[in-house]
Amino acid sequence: MPSPAGRSAKDFFRPLAVGAPEPLREIPARPSRAIHFFDPSNPKMAAKVPQLTGTVDVLLGNLEDAVRADNKVAARESLVQIASSTSGLGGPDGSAQLWTRINSLDSPWVLDDLTRLIPAIGDKLDVVMVPKVQGAEDIAYVDRLLAQLEAKAGLDRPILVHAILETARGVANVEEICGASPRMQGLSLGPADLAADRRMKTTRVGGGHPGYLVRQDPTTTSDGVLGQERPTYQQDLWHYTIARMVDACAMHGIYPYYGPFGDISDPLACEDQFRNAFLLGCVGAWSLHPSQIEIANRVFSPSVEDIRHARRVVAALNRQGGDGTGAVMLDGKMEDDASLKQCLVLVELAEQLAAVDPKLKEIYDAIELTDE
Ligand X SMILES: CC(=O)SCCNC(=O)CCNC(=O)[C@H](O)C(C)(C)COP(=O)(O)OP(=O)(O)OC[C@H]1O[C@@H](n2cnc3c(N)ncnc32)[C@H](O)[C@@H]1OP(=O)(O)O
Size of the site for ligand X (CB under 6 A): 16
Residue 256 bridge partners (DSSP): 187
Size of the site for ligand O=CC(=O)O (CB under 6 A): 10
Decide if residue 126 touches Mg ion (CB under 5 A): no
Binding residue for ligand X, selected from 12, 48, 263, 308, defined by CB under 6 A: 48
Selected range binding ligand O=CC(=O)O among 32-40, 70-78, 184-192, 244-252, rule: CB under 6 A: 184-192
Decide if residue 307 touches ligand X (CB under 6 A): no
Decide if residue 190 touches Mg ion (CB under 5 A): yes
Decide if residue 179 touches Mg ion (CB under 5 A): no
Binding residue for Mg ion, selected from 57, 113, 143, 193, defined by CB under 5 A: 193
DSSP class of residue 247 equals: H
Binding residue for ligand X, selected from 80, 264, 304, 367, defined by CB under 6 A: 264
Decide if residue 257 touches ligand X (CB under 6 A): no
- Is 166 annotated in some ligand binding site? yes
Decide if residue 207 touches ligand O=CC(=O)O (CB under 6 A): no
Q: Position 315: which residue type?
A: A
Q: Which is nearer to ligand O=CC(=O)O, 32 or 301 (CB)?
A: 32
Q: Please say whether the dihedral angle defined by the alpha carbons of residues 251, 167, 36 and 367, taken in this order, is positive or negative.
A: negative
Nearest in space to 13 (alpha carbons), one of 183, 137, 162: 183
Instruction: Kindly write down the DSSP assignment for every residue of 199-216, as one continuous string.
Output: T-S--SSSS--TTSEEEP
- Is 65 annotated in some ligand binding site? no
Query: Which runs of consecutive H residues, i.e. helices, occur in the chain?
Result: 43-52, 72-85, 110-121, 136-153, 168-172, 174-178, 191-197, 239-252, 267-280, 291-299, 304-321, 337-356, 358-365
- Residue 351's alpha-carbon distances to 310, 311, 334, 360, in angstroms, are 13, 12, 25, 10
The helix/strand/coil state of 191 is helix
Selected range binding Mg ion among 114-122, 162-170, 249-257, 315-323, rule: CB under 5 A: 162-170
- Is 76 annotated in some ligand binding site? no
- Backbone φ and ψ for 286, nearest 5 degrees, come out as -85, 150
Decide if residue 190 touches ligand O=CC(=O)O (CB under 6 A): yes
Selected range binding ligand X among 60-68, 106-114, 216-224, 358-366, rule: CB under 6 A: 60-68
Nearest in space to 273 (alpha carbons), one of 303, 302, 242: 242
Smallest separation (angstroms) from ligand O=CC(=O)O to the CB of 192: 3
Smallest separation (angstroms) from ligand X to the CB of 212: 19
- Backbone φ and ψ for 137, nearest 5 degrees, come out as -65, -30
Q: Which is nearer to ligand X, 100 or 181 (CB)?
A: 100
What gap in Å lies between CA 107 and CA 125, rounded to an integer? 21
What gap in Å lies between CA 247 and CA 281, rounded to an integer? 9
- Name which of residues 136 to 165 contact ligand O=CC(=O)O (CB under 6 A): 164
Number of Cβ within 10 Å of residue 217's Cβ equals 8
- Name which of residues 86 to 105 contact ligand O=CC(=O)O (CB under 6 A): none
Residue 189 bridge partners (DSSP): 165
Annotated binding site: 101, 166, 193
Judged by the rule CB under 6 A, the positions of this chain that interact with ligand O=CC(=O)O are 65, 164, 166, 190-193, 205, 259-260
Annotated binding site for Mg(2+): 166, 193
Judged by the rule CB under 6 A, the positions of this chain that interact with ligand X are 37-39, 44-45, 48, 62, 65-66, 192, 205, 260, 264, 288-290
Judged by the rule CB under 5 A, the positions of this chain that interact with Mg ion are 166, 190, 193
Annotated binding site for substrate: 101, 166
